[in-house]
Amino acid sequence: MPELDARVKNRLRLLRAERDWSQGELAVQLGISRQSVNAIETGKYDPSLPLAFRIADLFELAIEDIFLREDGGQDA
C-alpha cells in the first residue's frame, strides 16, 4: 500500500525555463502568486488537483509527465 504522506517531485522549473518564463510570468498565467510557484518548484508545497490540471493544460502535458511520486513507485 503506498504511503499516504509521499512527497511529489516535479519538472515545473525545467518546463518553465524551457519557455524562458519567470516565476512571476508563470504565476500570472496560472492565477497564483509567484511565491506559490516557488513553493511548488522547491517541493515545499504540492498543488491541488485543479491547479495540477491547470499546470498540465498550460504546458500541454499529462499531469504524470510533470508530477512524479518521490519514491518513483507506481500506484496499484
76 band by pLDDT with thresholds 50, 70 and 90: very low
Instruction: Give tens-digit pLDDT for 51-75.
Output: 999 999 999 999 999 999 877 555 4
In a domain, 41, yes or no: yes
Q: What is the mean pLDDT of residues 4-26?
A: 91
In a domain, 53, yes or no: yes
Task: Report pLDDT for 2.
Answer: 55
Burial 44-61 (b: 16+ CB within 10 A, else e): eeebeeebbebbbebbee
The number of folded domains in the chain is 1
Instruction: Tell me the pTM.
Output: 0.83
Q: Are 62 and 73 in contact (CB under 8 A)?
A: no
Q: What are the pLDDT digits (tens) for 26-48?
A: 999 999 999 999 999 999 999 99
Whether 29 maps to a domain, the answer reads yes
Q: Which domain holds residue 20?
A: 8-69
User: DSSP letters along 6-25, please?
Assistant: --EEE-HHHHHHHTT--HHH
Classified as helix, coil or strand, 67 is strand
Asked if residue 74 belongs to a domain, the reply is no
Q: Cell for 13?
A: 522549473
Per the domain annotation, does 3 fall within a domain?
no
